[in-house]
């Protein structure tokens, strides 16, 4: 299990050039412990507005979370780390 520390978030809205569909959601930026890094590593993941509306916990900067992915590598759930 990996614990991610949320350090920022940025809302997004853009039109997919291939489909014309408007994509709305939020990108979360995080740091995490990593044995292969001197210090901590950083990364990001994005969550669609549809998923955000279904989440029981929406992260904010400063909180620790567990992120779960589906078989396609997309975020499927976010839970507050205990």
Band (82; pLDDT cuts 50, 70, 90): confident
Domain-by-domain residue ranges, the chain? Answer: 4-80
CB-CB contact of 63 with 80 (8 Å): yes
Spatial CA neighbour of 55 closest among 79, 25, 36, 27: 79
Residue 80 confidence (pLDDT) above 70: yes
> Which pTM was predicted?
0.87
pLDDT at 77: 93
Read off the pLDDT band of 2 (50, 70, 90).
confident
Summarised one tens digit per residue, pLDDT across range 37-75 is 999 999 999 999 999 999 988 899 999 999 999 999 999
């Amino acid at each position: 299990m990996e614990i991610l520390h949320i350090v920022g978030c940025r809302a997004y809205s853009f039109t997919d050039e291939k489909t014309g569909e408007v994509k709305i959601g939020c990108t979360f930026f995080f740091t995490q412990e990593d044995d292969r890094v001197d210090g901590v590593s950083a990364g990001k993941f994005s969550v669609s507005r549809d998923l955000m509306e279904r989440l029981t916990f929406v992260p904010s900067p400063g909180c620790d979370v567990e992120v779960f992915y589906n078989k396609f590598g997309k975020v499927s759930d976010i839970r507050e780390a205990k």
